[in-house]
Amino acid sequence: MRLAIVGAGPAGIYAADLLIKADRDFDVEIDLFDQLPAPYGLVRYGVSPDHPRIKGIITALREVLDRTDRGDDAQAGDAGNAGDAAEGVDTEAARAPRGSVHYHGNVRYGEHIGLDDLKRHYHAVIFATGAILDASLDIAGIDAEASYGAADFVSWFDGHPDVPREWPLDAKQVAVIGNGNVALDVSRMLIKHAEDLLPTEIPDNVHRLLEQNPIEELHLFGRRGPQYVKFTPLELRELGEVRDVDMVIDERDFDIDDPYVAETLMKNKQVIVLTRIMNQWREAQKLRDAGEVAPASRRLHLHFWSKPVAVMQDADGRVSGIKIERTAPDGAGGVVETGEFEVVPVQSLYRAIGYFGSPLEEIPFDEKRGVIPNEQGRVIGADGSPVPGVYATGWIKRGPIGLIGHTKSDAMETIECLLEDRASWWQPEAPEAAAVVELLKSRNVPYTTIEGWHRLDAYELSLGEDQGRERIKVVSREEMTRVSLAE
């Protein structure tokens, strides 16, 4: 059976892995397409460069992509593809029906390959295209100059090939809206001294601009209270450990009577740890206020119970401040408005209030939630019934929530449904592997392969090694493709 997966991020790769390992009585060949010349999606282009622990997930993902064995018959005529693939495959899997995964980078669904092509060459498709846009924030002035979406900034600092190389870092006072892990990543990258990022895989152009970042104050806004944050403890603690940055807390935010906190939130272990971390910052602040500790050169202000209501602009239409309204607990986990407003002067602003998925040609899309409508991964059409042969997994299936590991259980659900539905899969006219390769060639698509990725990976690592750095990412699509395709 031949299956296509669109999207070679963690969601797509986990789906491929689970398909390969699934209990089935037929062989499976998986073609994994990605619009980028390199695999790993959000792990390469969403995780911050100073998070090597999370980037370590790549080791496991890579093992799946390296599984290019095609089964005994095919291998006899295609030895070049076998390579080292069998290594790392456990004996149980080796006894199971055979499976192979083939990565095709630089292939954009809807442009280079469409639904009709997939139906012609595969038995089913799984969309795992993630969510890479910023959710919109509907407040006055949000389109002002120097008002940015976090996803765009993350793409820039992670060297995404399709975003501009430059980023205007000229504000001394910056606002970040949101209390999730993306807001933490954005805040850390903005407030950290550039030299502390140098050992990471940060792209050169990003490091150069961050070196000139004049930031002095960063204001991080959450519309609910400190116990309601969506941060994870490890990431919050890390923010407080950034060198030469003082964490500044408004004591008023902690002095609010909210029965929901004691009755519900403080029963959660994670909330207890998060609160403890913030309490340590409050203690450190008292020492600073008493003159017992010297102040740092940069400050990160945490503002809770602060709902953004407008972005203020100067005469040139550039961000000059953020207007917030104080909120108060409603006693049931939500907030009420208080009618009390404040303007905090800032010269740039980042909204980190969640990601949003993009529609795919000929595939149903929920415009409100930014996901493909589905039931347990079965894509649901306009008539409310499943669309045969079409599945979804990852953030485009369930929305942009959860850590990378959660994507695995999500893929499990989708794969179970897909295997259950075998009777309703497509009947492809040309299911041979070579037919798709021919199609891509006939359309002049400069598609990259797993061997090409290994070349690019080795090249980036060697660039880093020369300078005593982890890796230096190649940023331009042309150069990525050139290195990948070089024999």
For the bound state, the minimum distance from the C-beta of residue 252 to ligand NAP, rounded and expressed in Å, comes to 19
Can residue 223 be called a binding residue for ligand NAP (CB under 6 A)?
yes
Can residue 356 be called a binding residue for ligand NAP (CB under 6 A)?
no
Of 389, 387, 407, 385, the closest CA to residue 398 belongs to 407
Amino acid identity, position 383: D
Site string for ligand NAP, 378-407 (x = CB under 6 A): ----------------------xxxx----
Nearest CB to ligand NAP, comparing residues 9 and 178: 178
Query: How many whole angstroms separate alpha carbon 32 and alpha carbon 3?
Result: 9
Report how far apart the first and last C-alpha atoms of the chain are (Å, whole number): 31
Can residue 224 be called a binding residue for ligand NAP (CB under 6 A)?
yes
Nearest CB to ligand NAP, comparing residues 308 and 394: 308
Can residue 447 be called a binding residue for ligand NAP (CB under 6 A)?
no
Of 4, 68, 63, the closest CA to residue 30 belongs to 4
Site string for ligand NAP, 166-195 (x = CB under 6 A): -----------xxxxxxx-x----------
Q: Other CB atoms closer than 10 Å to residue 174's CB: what's the count?
A: 27
Secondary element (H or E) of residue 353 = none
Amino acid identity, position 221: F
Q: Other CB atoms closer than 10 Å to residue 29's CB: what's the count?
A: 22
Nearest CB to ligand NAP, comparing residues 183 and 371: 183
H helix and E strand count, the chain: 19, 18
For the bound state, the minimum distance from the C-beta of residue 54 to ligand NAP, rounded and expressed in Å, comes to 6
Among 235, 246, 413, 470, binds ligand NAP (CB under 6 A): 235
Query: How many whole angstroms separate alpha carbon 31 and alpha carbon 34?
Result: 10
Secondary element (H or E) of residue 44 = helix 41-45
For the bound state, the minimum distance from the C-beta of residue 243 to ligand NAP, rounded and expressed in Å, comes to 19
For the bound state, the minimum distance from the C-beta of residue 297 to ligand NAP, rounded and expressed in Å, comes to 25
Nearest CB to ligand NAP, comparing residues 98 and 224: 224
Rg of the Cα atoms in the chain: 24
Ranges within 95-154 binding ligand NAP (CB under 6 A): 137
CB 295 within 8 A of CB 324: no
CB 395 within 8 A of CB 130: yes
For the bound state, the minimum distance from the C-beta of residue 402 to ligand NAP, rounded and expressed in Å, comes to 5
Ranges within 32-51 binding ligand NAP (CB under 6 A): 51
Can residue 273 be called a binding residue for ligand NAP (CB under 6 A)?
no
For the bound state, the minimum distance from the C-beta of residue 186 to ligand NAP, rounded and expressed in Å, comes to 9
Q: How would you label 300-316 residue by residue, b for 16+ Cβ within 10 Å and e otherwise?
A: bbbbbbbbbebbbbeee
For the bound state, the minimum distance from the C-beta of residue 414 to ligand NAP, rounded and expressed in Å, comes to 19
Single out the segment in contact with ligand NAP by CB under 6 A; choices: 230-238, 291-299, 440-448, 450-458: 230-238
Task: Report the SS3 class of residue 340.
Answer: strand
Contact residues toward ligand NAP (CB under 6 A) are 51, 54, 137, 177-183, 185, 222-224, 228, 230, 232, 235, 308, 352-355, 400-403
